[in-house]
Copies of this chain bind each other. A is one copy, B any other.
Amino acid sequence: MSAPDEQELRAWAYLAAVAEPPCARLVALVDQYGVLDAARAVRERRMPDGYGELLVATEARCGSDTAAADLERCAEIGARLVTRDELDWPGWPLLPLDQADTAARGGGPLALWVRGTGSLVEFTGQAIAVVGSRAATSYGDYVAGKLGSELAAENWTVLSGGAYGIDGAAHRGALAAHGRTAAVLACGIDRDYPAGHAALLTEIARQGLVVTEYPPGTTAAKHRFLTRNRLVAALSAATVVVEAGRRSGAANTAAWARKLGRPLGAVPGAITSATSVGCHQMIADGQATLVADTAAVIALAEPDGHDTHQQSPPRRTDGLSPEQFRVIEALPARGGLRLDEVVFVSGLPTPTVRAALAGLEVAGLVDGDGGLWELA
């Protein structure tokens, strides 16, 4: 659990490039034998018992050791390789990916290339993924930007995929609030994908982190987006889909969040909007919770309701009895109701309502003048 030495780092870089992620068996090999022996086994094509399948998985690339070049390229652009051995490895959020039931389809990353100076553990310790359609509407852009900005202002890391549309809007919102944001890429750390987001990714790396499990030079490809999505879900306490069509990458990230047992939220929109169809489906199917504001998103990520980052001011209605709540709820925002009307609306017996109103009046929450009860 200390920074690896030069030789070890080279071994990590070699292994991080030698098989297409995710490769759960390779991770297991390193965990069992250590990175140096694992790298030697792969390079010399001599696998321990039970790891024979790795010969196939590493066959294409085992001969071309790009580790030194990758680490050099990485240093040029201010990036570094964070390995499973290091203190800054986000082992806790990634744990479910290593576990048996998901390893077959996913599996944890062997190492992560990170651009930016912040701590990976710190950035992912309190993160919420904000994802959605690349073809976002102005509504989606607005909502993602607002969520990004408000979550960042509440000390949450806004995690996303750096893509056009919702992803970009969420990152920008966090940057505008001078908060934390991290982009997880489906390509090498030295690639700006999409090209139009080169400046945005540079800004994210300056103020936050850009992260990928792909070695420098790796191009973005369809299967890599799906693989990347599992990291977005795993590195976040909750995932929120802002806009998603019927079939979308965001739905894949959402599925990962569910698979990993992480809360999933979806933002509703007009039912006339094709880019909200996916969100509505997730909500209607009971897969996602409807979230209509930043507070609801945070509540999702903190299901036990305690404010880890900030204490909310006590509400005046704290400490009321259930009956008093029902009576308060029964009163309209404007105007008043007669006692019998409060009885009807609240559905409580008359003596209960009378007692509740008396208590509420003493507490200064309602006024009862001239036979009409109204909110104070």
Q: Does A267 contact B (CB under 8 A)?
A: yes
Cα distance A289–B268 in the bound complex, in angstroms:
13
The proximity string for A residues 319-342 relative to B, scoring 1 for CB distances below 8 Å and 0 otherwise, is 000000000000011010110010
Cα distance A345–B276 in the bound complex, in angstroms:
22
Q: Does A75 contact B (CB under 8 A)?
A: no
Cα distance A281–B329 in the bound complex, in angstroms:
14
Which residues in chain A, 290-305, are within 8 Å of chain B measured between CB atoms?
Answer: 290-293, 296
What interface size band does chain A fall in? 35 or more
A269-B267 contact given A284-B289, A290-B284, CB 8 Å threshold = no
CB distance from A225 to the nearest CB of B (A): 11
Contact residue among B222, B267, B345 (Cβ-Cβ distance under 8 Å from A252):
B345
Give every chain B residue within 8 A of A60 (Cβ-Cβ). none
Contact residue among B105, B271, B345, B347 (Cβ-Cβ distance under 8 Å from A268):
B271
B268 engages A222 (CB within 8 Å): no
CB distance from A96 to the nearest CB of B (A): 15
A268 engages B283 (CB within 8 Å): yes
Which residues in chain A, 199-231, are within 8 Å of chain B measured between CB atoms?
Answer: 222-223, 226-227
Give every chain B residue within 8 A of A276 (Cβ-Cβ). 268, 292
A226 engages B344 (CB within 8 Å): yes
Contact residue among B269, B291, B345 (Cβ-Cβ distance under 8 Å from A270):
B269
B267 engages A292 (CB within 8 Å): no
A335 engages B284 (CB within 8 Å): no
Most buried by B among A267, A277, A296, A344: A344
Cα distance A272–B242 in the bound complex, in angstroms:
13
A268-B280 contact given A223-B341, A223-B344, A227-B344, CB 8 Å threshold = yes
Cα distance A175–B131 in the bound complex, in angstroms:
42
B289 engages A271 (CB within 8 Å): no
- A268-B283, A271-B292 given; 10 more Cβ-contact pairs under 8 Å: A104-B349, A139-B270, A222-B332, A222-B341, A226-B344, A268-B280, A268-B290, A269-B269, A270-B270, A284-B296
